[in-house]
Every structure is written in structure tokens, then in C-alpha cells.
Amino acid sequence: MLAILRRRLLPFLLCSPLLILALPAAHAQSAAQLDHAYQSELQAENDALRARIQQLPPAMQELNTQIAAALRAGNRPEAQRVAEEMARQDPRNADVRLFLGKLHAQQGDLPAAQDLFDQAIKLNPDNKWAYVNKAGTQAERSDLPNALATSRELTTRFPGWSIGYNLQASLLDAMNRESEALDAYQKAVRAEPASALILTNQGNLLRRVGRLTDARLSYEDALRIQPGYTLAKSALADLPNSPEKQ
């Protein structure tokens, strides 16, 4: 189950907004696997990030440009070195901390990444994606109880955000708490944005617990929200017609 959770969370960790707006190709490929709702949310946060970057002093903007060049050249150590210089020059910039956390996570230094995500949240508790990254890092460290606690911080602060409940449901599912996971999925379905990915995730869990009719309805709802959504189409096509569990 943890392997399934890792595959589900990894695209969000890689694609959630970076300080650098031009994502490397590998990140763009992961983003293409997300549904329209996730892509729209990520784009909205990147647009807000772009505006924040434009408000930085010229010297900081120049450092940001150097990081972008380093990433395009595949030189992550140089990108990290320059980002650390940005952090020294602007110690209260949450975006820099979030970006550094991503770099450390991608390099496998999960304790450092988690610490940086914590710092980003303290500096800006209204950045939803910082919580997503922190919870994902905790899950990668097999610390599911604390990852769940982080997801609950997120849904408490943003009770109308479907992506937060989807994260919470995925963690509960990984902890074999299927009933609570289904409750979290229902909250996600009632929240915004409406998401084909979330409905597909819900359908997958319903299928696993033997509620095939409800799983079919969830996949069909996903396709109504986003016609042609590949994950929902394939799941629906593979759905057996066997009797449901009692």
C-alpha cells in the first residue's frame, strides 16, 4: 500500500509550484499525468508565484535567474548553492524555503526537506502546497501518522479545497483505514475544484472494498467532469461485472 501511495504522491511533489517557473521536462511529463483540476490549481499558484517574484529586489531576481539557468543545465548543486544564498539574503522568504525543500527531497535528503517545508509553512501558513510537500515527505519516510496530521492541518485551514481531502484520503487508505478514507473522499467530492482524478481514486478504493456499482458511478462521474480522462477510462474498462461483496 505504501508503494501505491508513493506513486500517487510523487507527481504532486514534483509538480507543485517551484520557485523557478520554467519546470524541467521531467516535471512537465509528470504534470501531464494530472487531471485538469490539479493542473489549474498548480497554474494558479505558479501565476501567484510569478507575481511575488516580480516584487523581489533586482538582486534577488538575478539570483532567481541564475537558479533557472543552473536547472536548465542540469546543475542541481549550483541551483542549491544559489538558492541558499537567496535564503541568506531574504531569510523570511517562504518560497525560497519551499524550493530548497524540493531540491533536498529530489536528492533523497528527506529530513532536510521536511525541515525546510516546516520553515516554509511557518513563514507562510497559507501556501497549500507546502503542506502537500511536507505530508508527502513524511509519507516517504514511512511516517504516515504525522503525514496524516499534516494533511489535517491543511484541511482545517482550507476546508473547501478538494485536493487536501484527496491527500488525506490517500494517507488513510495507506494506513488501511478504508472507511475513514471513503469519508475523506466524499468530502473531497463535495469540495472544489471538482476533480476527475479524485473521483478515480475514490472509485479505485470502492472497487477494492467490493462496492463495484459505486466504483462504476465514481468513474463515470470522473468522465463527466473530464471526458476522456485516461485513468478513469482504463479503470472503468477494467471493472469486472462480478457480484459485489456483502
- Tell me the pLDDT of the chain (246 aa) as tens digits: 555 565 555 545 544 434 443 333 333 334 556 899 999 998 899 899 989 999 999 999 999 999 989 988 999 999 999 999 999 999 999 999 999 999 999 899 999 999 999 999 999 999 999 999 999 999 999 999 999 999 999 999 999 999 999 999 999 999 999 999 999 999 999 999 999 999 999 999 999 999 999 999 999 999 999 999 999 999 999 998 755 554
The reply to whether 182 falls in a domain is: yes
Domain, as residue range, for 228: 143-239
* CA dihedral sign, ordered 39, 40, 43, 44: negative
The reply to whether 244 falls in a domain is: no
Asked if residue 120 and residue 9 are part of one domain, the reply reads yes
Last residue of a domain, one of 74, 109, 142: 142
The pTM of the full predicted model, rounded to 2 decimals, is 0.88
**C-alpha cell belonging to residue 105:** 527531497
Asked if residue 175 and residue 153 are part of one domain, the reply reads yes
Task: List Cβ neighbours of 169 (8 Å cut-off, separation of 6 or more).
Answer: 181, 182, 184, 185, 188, 201, 202, 205
Asked if residue 231 and residue 165 are part of one domain, the reply reads yes
Asked if residue 103 and residue 10 are part of one domain, the reply reads yes
Amino acid identity at 205 = L
